[in-house]
């Protein structure tokens, strides 16, 4: 559901001048390729099988997967916001609203 919300907000998200946007998953690369294709996702997906990326951001769930957090990082690598209350139904619009609120530039 979160993937579809992000997909459905593509045009709004793509209006921002972002260097990189991705979703992280504990699934392997092949599973992510299938998932991306099945859900028509346009964004990059990171296979974080061992959870090292999620652990680095404190977003690793001991059960074995990344928490549904959105981490906003500026061009200098500074973390501007960590949204720990992601709503899967409105994730795309919420992402766009936060990007605007945080002052990310538009294209």
User: Rounded mean pLDDT of 88-93?
Assistant: 90
What is the pLDDT at residue 10? Answer: 84
For the stretch 38-89, pLDDT in tens is 988 888 888 998 889 899 989 998 888 889 899 999 989 999 999 999 998 9
pTM given for the model? 0.83
In terms of Cα–Cα distance, which of 61, 59, 58, 31 is closest to 46? Answer: 31
Q: Is the pLDDT of residue 5 over 90?
A: no
Tokens of 40: 């028509």
Tokens of 88: 């899967």
Q: Is the pLDDT of residue 9 over 80?
A: yes
What is the pLDDT at residue 62? Answer: 86
Q: Is the pLDDT of residue 99 over 90?
A: yes
């Amino acid at each position: 559901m979160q993937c579809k919300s992000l997909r459905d907000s593509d045009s709004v998200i793509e209006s921002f001048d972002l260097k990189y946007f991705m979703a992280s998953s504990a699934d392997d690369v092949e599973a992510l390729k299938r998932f991306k294709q099945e859900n028509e996702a346009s964004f990059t997906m990171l296979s974080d099988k061992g959870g090292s990326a999620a652990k680095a951001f404190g977003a690793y769930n001991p059960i074995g997967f990344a928490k549904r957090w959105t981490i906003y990082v500026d061009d200098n690598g500074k973390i501007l916001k960590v949204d720990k209350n992601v709503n899967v139904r409105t994730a795309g619009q919420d992402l766009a609203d936060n990007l605007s609120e945080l002052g990310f530039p538009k294209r």
